[in-house]
Amino acid sequence: MGVIVLAAKITHVPSLLISEREGPLKGRRDGPIHSLKELGRRARARGADTFIVFDVHWLSNFGFHLNANLRHRGVYTSHEAPHMIQNMAYDYPGDPALGDAIAEEAKGLGIDVISHHVETLPLEYGTIVPMHYMNGDSTQKVISIAANLFASTDENRRLGEAVARAVAKSNSRVAVLASGSLSHMLVNSTEVGDGQWDQMSSEFNRQVDLRVLELWQQKRYGEFVKMLPDYSRLCKGEGLMADTAMLFGLLGWDKYAGKAEELCEYFASSGSGQITVEFHVDAA
């Protein structure tokens, strides 16, 4: 019987990588970087053999998609921000069997997911950046799941539930990552530059993000999932916060009662709100 050994909401912003270079951002993302490395350490210590990443930087217009390649190998340059992420090599084993099993479980819940075995289908940086810090030796397998831009919160909830069901029927020990921001209204073109890295585009968004973190600390998850559709819409959710809906679907939605542990301080990056939080699960 398989088990989910770790579940977390994580940041994947390019400023993590930029902060390791010489320049005005040097060292200013040490806390978030440490949080990702710590999650990687915890996953290994708990025997995780696979990372499943809900990646809102892999956006789909038509249906639900999952990268179940046997091997993920390539050199990545971001089409969105080639000056921030370029020539980044990655090489990770995949998990085709578990990917296919997730797709089958999803169909049983009314979600038609295509599990792809296409060598030319690359990973996106919502997966590549966290894996760079969490799976640097390429030991753990990787499955990446896209965000459908036209899916409802409930569809994403059911996809997360399908992942939990498929893992339970497998022999895998899995770490699940919701890779994306909290609020996501980015800076406009006149604000791009050295000052963008710690800038929040909207005080309203910042206040709602902080309220969400309070609800998580108080384990008021039932209230949070009720507000999630409006939160995503009003605060410009990245990928419509599909990753967060999938994560809570996996955890049990409003029935989840575990601890939310913040592993870095909330921070702004290019207008968006960012955090790393582990949602503790029973991995006995």
pLDDT in tens, 62-106: 999 999 999 999 999 999 889 889 999 999 999 999 999 999 999
Give pLDDT, residue 151.
Answer: 97
How much is the pTM? 0.96
Residue 120 has pLDDT above 60, yes or no: yes
**CATH class of the domain whose range is 3-279:** alpha beta
- Give the mean pLDDT of 260-267: 98
Give pLDDT, residue 284.
Answer: 40
Looking at this protein, which amino acid is placed at residue 125? Y
Torsion of CA 221, 225, 230, 236, to 10 degrees: 80
Using the 8-state DSSP alphabet, how is residue 152 labeled?
A: -
Provide the 3-class DSSP secondary structure of residue 55.
strand
Smallest CA-to-CA distance from 68 within 107, 40, 103, 110 is with 103
Paired strand residues for 273? 268
Provide the 3-class DSSP secondary structure of residue 143.
strand
Q: How far apart are CA 184 and CA 197, in angstroms?
A: 13
Helix (H) / strand (E) containing 99: helix 96-108
Number of H helices, E strands in the chain: 8, 12
Sheet with 113-116, edge to edge strand ranges: 113-116, 64-67, 141-148, 50-60, 173-179, 3-10, 277-279, 260-262
> Domain locations in the chain?
3-279
Residue 196 has pLDDT above 90, yes or no: no
Paired strand residues for 71? 93
Quick: pLDDT tens for 143-191: 999 999 999 999 999 999 999 999 999 999 999 999 999 999 887 877 7
Paired strand residues for 267? 274
Quick: pLDDT tens for 7-63: 999 999 999 999 999 988 899 999 999 999 999 999 999 999 999 999 999 999 999
